Structure 1
């Protein structure tokens, strides 16, 4: 009854439109691994427009990524809050919604890096081991990544194509530690973090602002950061670069990486085939979200 009331409230006051059926049951934040896998399989072959319809035509394009993430959170039955616990509390998984772009007509490549939390400079200065960094421990170690295809202007038509859970293997630990130590060295020696660590393969940092840091523009730096040397260090976040994300995807889907110049891709048709095979035995999406009859059928996987 409470879930139904929330949907009606969002429909009337927030402009969120749900189709007729109000009896679906999102799995919620305390779902088991099995429930998470079932709900994720049910997404494949469907679109954002299938799970909920909102009018994004006039939305600020700089905020669309967050809005799509919120739609996916709603599908899984999560509140849009800033709870520091993992998105799936019982399973300890952090949910990430990531776009794939089409390259050269026949290939997929991650559209953007994966941000995993803001950098706390004082914490980095005091912490020798990367797994002891709070944001990395909570936002990097156990991820549920839901991939969708960013193609065209209609966000409602962006299809879900794959999902994967990911944690760094033990053999990656030494490499990530080496990359973390280089970032920490810059902090301890008073250097501004920059693209000098862009050679890192797994763990990088990136600017987390839309301002001019070179000209000391407010919003580009952190005040009272606790940095051991710099008064106004740049506002940055931890990230996983796209070149590693595509390897994560290929490894999980058991796909060949295709080299084109200095960049690696996965074949578009090959990933769609894997998606179709995975969705064959999936439960109906109507178990997890209220949708109309026309939307309950799988979309065409041959895209």
Structure 2
């Protein structure tokens, strides 16, 4: 792969998928070199580096905007780190949890549902025994949830949002939700945001994010890759 200029957003799904085929099989160092980007010395301090590299290689154009990564195509990009057995190694961050005006929010209009309507999953090696720069990029999958999968996510979302609407922040933990969970989304515990408690009073709490549990992403892998 050779890249001499910034990659323009793809014009079509077919063009996007062709780009994924171009980078499939490359190790992180090869892709970084093609894009003129240095490989981090310590991957533990480079959270988000690979996602940004994939965005750059494939032409994602949403940057930090509250839109799918490929805006014209309505496609969200998610890397999927896999262990030595080819199974998801960690939960997948989707989006932030709404902290205000939650009583009028429906599943159909939720940011979470919009984000998951069309996802380009890019499996990547994450076995700690493989040097970070030598880990490889796998074959991408363009996925949309089935009716059953959307029902599973909706049930979890409604259960979690009920606690949020009632201001029961102290009860929320990563144990809630079968396929979807909420976890703190902040650099450290001193980062707080405004919310309302169970009595309707304003309070300060940790920002939180929605994450897909590995049992959900494992379902996707088992369904789409086990057959090939």
TM-score (norm 1): 0.64
Closer, same or farther in 2 for the Cα pair 1:49/1:91, shift >3 Å? Answer: same
Q: Is the partner of 2:120 in helix, strand or coil?
A: strand
Equivalences for 1:5-16 in 2 at 5 Å?
Answer: none
2:83 corresponds, among 101, 113, 118, to: 101
2:117 corresponds, among 141, 166, 181, to: 141
Closer, same or farther in 2 for the Cα pair 1:143/1:229, shift >3 Å? Answer: farther
Equivalences for 1:244-263 in 2 at 5 Å?
Answer: 244-255=216-227
* Deviation (angstroms), 1:209: 2.3
Closer, same or farther in 2 for the Cα pair 1:234/1:25, shift >3 Å? Answer: closer
Within 2, Cα distance between the matches of 1:61 and 1:141? 30
Q: Is the partner of 1:49 in helix, strand or coil?
A: helix
Within 2, Cα distance between the matches of 1:175 and 1:30? 31
Larger Rg: 1
> What residue number does 1:194 align with?
173
* Deviation (angstroms), 1:67: 0.9
- Are residues 1:83 and 2:62 paired? no
Higher relative contact order (CA 8 A, sep 6+): 1
- Are residues 1:114 and 2:92 paired? yes
| Runs of 4+ with deviation above 6 angstroms | none
| Structure (1 or 2) with the greater helix fraction | 1
Q: Quick check: 1:120–1:225 contact (8 Å CA) kept in 2?
A: no
- Compute the RMSD of aligned alpha carbons: 2.6
* Deviation (angstroms), 1:85: 2.5
> What residue number does 1:242 align with?
214
Q: Deviations over 1:218-264 (max 9, x none)?
A: 21x31x33664560233110111011111111111135xxxxxxxxx
Equivalences for 1:156-195 in 2 at 5 Å?
Answer: 156-192=133-169, 193-195=172-174
- Are residues 1:31 and 2:6 paired? no
- Are residues 1:58 and 2:41 paired? yes
TM-score (norm 2): 0.83
Instruction: Return 5+ residue gaps in structure 2 as ranges.
Output: none
Q: Is the partner of 1:232 in helix, strand or coil?
A: strand
How many residue pairs were aligned?
220
Closer, same or farther in 2 for the Cα pair 1:229/1:113, shift >3 Å? Answer: farther
Q: Deviations over 1:43-65 (max 9, x none)?
A: 22211222223433434624x23
